[in-house]
Amino acid sequence: MGRPGRRSKFFETRSCAANARSIRMNASIFIMDSWYVAAIEAELATDTIFARTICGEPIAFFRGSAGQVIALEDRCCHKSLPLHMGMIEGCSLRCGYHGMVFDDTGRCTEIPGQEHIPANAVVRAYPVRSRHGCIWIWMGDPALADDNEIPDYHWLDAPGWGARTNYVHVKANYRLIVENLLDLTHLTFVHGRTIGNAAVVKQAGVTFERGDREVKVTHIMRDVQPPPSYRASVAFDGPVDRWMIVHYAPPSFCRLYTGAVQRQGDQILRRLDWRNLNAVTPETATTTHYFWGHAQAHDPGDEAVTDFVVSQIKATFEEDVVIFEAQQAAISADPGRPTSRFSTKADAGAQHAMRVLDRLLKEQASGQPVHIKFTELQLAPQLPASDVDIAIDI
């Protein structure tokens, strides 16, 4: 995390030594030099201080006088009262205990009853950006924050796509969610009522591609029955060719490209194109903020269709959350026991993702820079020439 020699200086600028120790502990399990989704835009209302813990760090979010999002450490450096219990004054927060004011850089600008402001009267300010209907936060060294490393989720606000964003709090470690997203064979058994059916396990041709810091898993199914949610969303009345592509970039971003076409000879009768965009933000070692967005290319302007499809997708997430939390409960009950005793061939994508994540944590611990982007892997499925017409548009 960070460039060699810079991390210790960054720690020294923190408001107290205890905070530095806390960040070192968090950095041992979370990638800190990374953007994370902190909230959906609609969660942060004007004139409201919004508290959320990201990667073990409590943060107070609010909107400044121009509507911009500001994020400060949610702990006054005077007597440790959470700043979200205070009040907004322009682009500053006033602590609700002794009235000290902290501006958008984290510096104390006023101490009621005295003129002198100590140099260490400062809380941490985090880089934040608004993009694709989400609020993104950089958890590491602010000097290394690069807007170009914010994952591209443009489908969430692109013309021609109907989209929604959602949030769920999960009582489980974020890695369990990433592993789930990279192993879609569970769809048959967990999501049989919505997006899963037997074809996902029995008839899918699966390929795995590995980059230095990315993973892509591609499922192609020929002449299979569409799952229930596909039939409900598009009037498929026969077998389809179906694809599911998962693209992972660390620490915890997964973009899913899913779709199907129904043919009659060389003619495409019906087509479905979905994007499922996942941002898995660690809260603590055993809890996670799970943000997901859905975008669809068919009937993008029909709000009722979009709402119906999202209701179907939401049901699958609710099914997954039950799995995640049951796993975490079992792991927490016997932490010394291996999480998994053996692997299957379907685990290959998730295994590589975890190796990538572990390697980056080691690099971070040694002070090496950690730069993460969705750049290495070509996403279009490698289909025969006769099937080029169903290649996805990225």
What is the structure's pLDDT at 22?
Answer: 54
Residue 364: partners with Cβ closer than 8 Å, 6 or more residues away: 1, 2, 27, 31, 32, 33, 370
Higher pLDDT among residues 22 and 173, named by residue:
173
Q: Which of 138, 135, 119, 126 is nearest to 39 (CA)?
A: 135
What is the structure's pLDDT at 326?
Answer: 94
371-383 pLDDT, tens digit each:
776 665 555 444 4
Instruction: Give the burial string for 267-291 (b: 16+ CB within 10 Å, else e).
Output: eeebbbbbbbbbbbbbbbbbbbbbb
334-364 pLDDT, tens digit each:
887 767 665 676 678 888 999 999 999 999 9
What is the structure's pLDDT at 219?
Answer: 84
Interatomic CA distance for residues 360 and 195, integer angstroms: 33
Question: Is the pLDDT at 49 greater than 60, yes or no?
Answer: yes
80-109 pLDDT, tens digit each:
999 999 999 999 999 999 999 999 999 999
Question: Is the pLDDT at 151 greater than 50, yes or no?
Answer: yes
Tokens of 66: 């121009």
What is the structure's pLDDT at 374?
Answer: 64
What is the structure's pLDDT at 287?
Answer: 98
Under 8 Å between Cβ of 309 and 296 = yes
What is the structure's pLDDT at 235?
Answer: 85
Interatomic CA distance for residues 219 and 383, integer angstroms: 11
Mean pLDDT throughout 131-154? 94
Average pLDDT, the chain: 84
Interatomic CA distance for residues 154 and 293, integer angstroms: 11
Percentage above 70 pLDDT, the chain: 80
What is the structure's pLDDT at 197?
Answer: 46
Residue 186 pLDDT class (50, 70, 90 cuts): low
pTM over 0.75: yes
End-to-end CA distance of the chain: 30
What is the structure's pLDDT at 393?
Answer: 45
265-321 pLDDT, tens digit each:
888 899 988 899 999 999 999 999 999 999 988 776 788 888 888 888 888 888 889
Q: What is the DSSP letter of 276?
A: E
Question: Is the pLDDT at 191 greater than 80, yes or no?
Answer: no
Higher pLDDT among residues 19 and 106, named by residue:
106
Higher pLDDT among residues 135 and 234, named by residue:
135
Question: Is the pLDDT at 24 greater than 60, yes or no?
Answer: no
Strand order in the sheet with 57-63: 50-54, 57-63, 69-73, 125-126
Question: Is the pLDDT at 391 greater than 90, yes or no?
Answer: no
Percentage above 90 pLDDT, the chain: 51
Q: Helices 174-182 and 303-333 sit at what angle, rounded to 10 degrees?
A: 120
Tell me whether the omega of the peptide bond preceding residue 251 falls within 30 degrees of 0, making it cis: yes
Question: Is the pLDDT at 170 greater than 90, yes or no?
Answer: yes
Domains defined for the chain, CATH in brackets: 6-147 (2.102.10.10), 156-390 (3.90.380.10)
